[in-house]
Amino acid sequence: MRIDVEQAAGFLRENDDFLILMHASPDGDTLGCGHALCGALQRMGKRACAVCPEEIPHRFDYLFRAVAEQEFEPTTIVCVDVADTKLLGEMKELGDRAELCIDHHVSNTEYAKRTLVRPEYAAACELVYEVIKALGVPFDRELANCIYTGTATDTGCFKYSNTTVQTHIIAAEMIGCGAEFAMINYVNFDLKTQGRIRLEQEVLKNISYFAEGHVALVSVPLALVESIPDIDSDDVGALSNIPRQIEGVDIGICVKEKKKGVYKASMRSSERINVAEICAEFGGGGHERAAGCSFYGGTIEEAEEKIAEAASRAVKRAGII
């Protein structure tokens, strides 16, 4: 059942003992949503905890300050920024019992009993912000840090076309509430380990171009990642944005070998291409300008060939070449 912000707030007001689920490969938006909502419910005197099926990168440690650890038996499951229970990994079964989902993905499968979804919002955090407003919980610095994190990270720090007037208005309000935005942006956008710098260098050496230069692809074999000390999944994840930055490129692709025979392709695009559609051909999904899909079996070169071909076809379909 689709519900609105007031109904979501009503449901949260009437219930207690919340387990808030955030998606695997956690990003700033799901983590910001989970910790903001958990912290807001706790400030209302309720019991809540926010959990993620995978380890949370250390750069997000500041989000934990928004919540207290509480001992209780959770009864009410809420998912935030989770489009599909598949994205919950080993917590999938918990997701199947979700009473409420708050999300901004157009691909939301409406698996929860109640779904509050706004595909036109840049970040799910914008929607959690509205829910917290409706609950009447004031934004202190810690809650503001959570909401700011989601809005900034899901828009490339207000850079991308999904940013709206509302995104900036919310960011302004969160800064007014004390959000430590310079620190948040530094750890999320600028900070690079020496390992990341080496990794970027190596990856930049081998860029492949397709479709007359409108498609660029970088390849990240496991052996490369393992050859550089002090690399983490964030360092590898950040590579996804690089190929699209090259002049003339409409589709940037990063193919990573997750483990032997498992390859993840991340795609970024210009306004002219919808990469969610391309990824859907391979069972993946995401947003129009940023999406991903996985390949199983075969070699990394084979996965690269498949995705580069699909991307080249999309460039032709769009009339670019």
Residues contributing to the site for its own copies (CB under 8 A)? 152, 156-161, 163-166, 168-169, 171-173, 175-176, 181-182, 185-186, 189-194, 197, 200-201, 204-205, 207, 241, 244-247, 271
Output 42 or 149, the one with its CB closest to its own copies: 149
Output the 3-class SS for 218-237. EEECHHHHHHCCCCCHHHHH
CA dist 120 and 106 (Å) reads: 8
* 175: Cβ contacts below 8 Å, ≥ 6 apart: 144, 148, 181
Give the nearer residue to its own copies in terms of CB position, either 59 or 113. Answer: 59
**CB of residue 154 vs its own copies: minimum separation in angstroms?**
14
User: CB 174 → its own copies: shortest distance, Å?
Assistant: 9
Based on CB atoms, which residue is closest to its own copies, 109 or 166? 166
* 290-296 β-sheet, strand order: 207-210, 215-220, 251-259, 262-269, 290-296, 285-286
For its own copies, give the closer residue by CB, 113 or 192. 192
Nearest distance from residue 230's CB to its own copies, in Å?
9
| Residue with Cβ nearer its own copies (47 or 244) | 244
- Residue 195's φ and ψ, nearest 5 degrees, are -60, -40
> Which of 275-289 are b and which e, b meaning 16 or more Cβ less than 10 Å from the residue's Cβ?
bbebbeebebbbbeb
Q: How far is the CB of 134 from its own copies (least distance, A)?
A: 21
Residue 76 CA to residue 72 CA, distance in Å, equals 12
State which residue, 68 or 197, has the beta carbon closest to its own copies: 197
CB of 303 to its own copies, least distance (A): 24
Tell me whether residue 15 or residue 241 sits nearer to its own copies (CB atom): 241
Minimum gap (Å) between residue 285 Cβ and its own copies: 22
CA pair distance 219, 143, nearest whole angstrom = 38
Smallest gap, in angstroms, from Cβ of residue 57 to its own copies?
13
* Structural element, H or E, at residue 294: strand 290-296
Query: DSSP labels for 71-91?
Result: -----EEEEES-SSGGGGGGG
